Amino acid sequence: MLSKFVCTCLLVAVSLPVAAQSGPQDLEQAQKIADARAGLMKVVGAYFGPIYAMAQGYTDFDAETAERNAHKLRELADMAPDMFRTDTRKFEVKTEALDEVWEDYDHFVEDAEKMKKASAALESAASEGKDAVVAAFQKLGGTCKDCHDEYRLKK
């Protein structure tokens, strides 16, 4: 019966983010959520940077790095809908996320899906050489811009 108990606990833990959709209870909690999603975007930048560097000729083209980083970017794109789901609009958090994110969250998820597809395309372009990578990278960058234009604070 112990195993059943563990299973139940796990089930509860896994469903917690869903159950917590009632939202953060105070500013501190909301800020943690905002920091986490900003962190996700920073990690995206970290994996994006090396491909940018080789596309611009700062570094030599390296198919392996391109493929590996594109793969990570696809995984990060997969996390975006999780990390942005919690609505923090009620609190005065420090964030660059605009209210538009939660005004039509399904649309936000669709946009994240575009980043995922573009990352996957970049991953498979890696074996086709630099030109293919640069072209696919440009498309991936386009999904960044489309999303930022809509959902990110214009600093």
Partner 1 sequence: MSEQPRRLVWDLPVRLFHWTLTLSLAGSWITAESGIEWTQWHMYLGYLALGLILFRVLWGFVGTRHARFGQFLSSPVAAARYAATLPSRKATRYAGHNPLGGWMVVLLLALVGVQAGTGMFISDDIMYAGPYNGAVSGSLADRLSYIHHLNFKFLQAAVAIHVLAVLYYWLRKRVNLVGPMFSGRKDADGLAENDAITSIAWVRGLLVAAIVAAVVTALVLLAPPPAPPDFF
Binding site for partner 1 (CB under 8 A): 45-50, 52-53, 55-56, 58-59, 137-138, 141-142, 144-146, 148-149, 154-155
**Residue (of 54, 53, 47, 96) closest to 71 by Cα position:** 47
Q: 9 — alpha (psi -120 to 50), left (phi > 0) or beta?
A: alpha
Of the two residues 17 and 49, which places its CB atom closer to partner 1 in the complex? 49
Please report how close the Cβ of residue 92 comes to partner 1 at its closest, in angstroms.
19
Dist. CA 56–CA 126, nearest whole Å: 16
Please report how close the Cβ of residue 109 comes to partner 1 at its closest, in angstroms.
20
Of the two residues 23 and 50, which places its CB atom closer to partner 1 in the complex? 50
Residue burial 80-111, b: 16+ Cβ < 10 Å; e: rest: bbebbbbbbeebebebebeeebbeeeeebeeb
Of the two residues 78 and 96, which places its CB atom closer to partner 1 in the complex? 96
Of the two residues 8 and 59, which places its CB atom closer to partner 1 in the complex? 59
Please report how close the Cβ of residue 97 comes to partner 1 at its closest, in angstroms.
14
Of the two residues 87 and 111, which places its CB atom closer to partner 1 in the complex? 111
Please report how close the Cβ of residue 56 comes to partner 1 at its closest, in angstroms.
8
Dist. CA 18–CA 13, nearest whole Å: 10
* Amino acid at the residue 12: V
Please report how close the Cβ of residue 48 comes to partner 1 at its closest, in angstroms.
8
Structure-block tokens of residue 91 = 């609190």
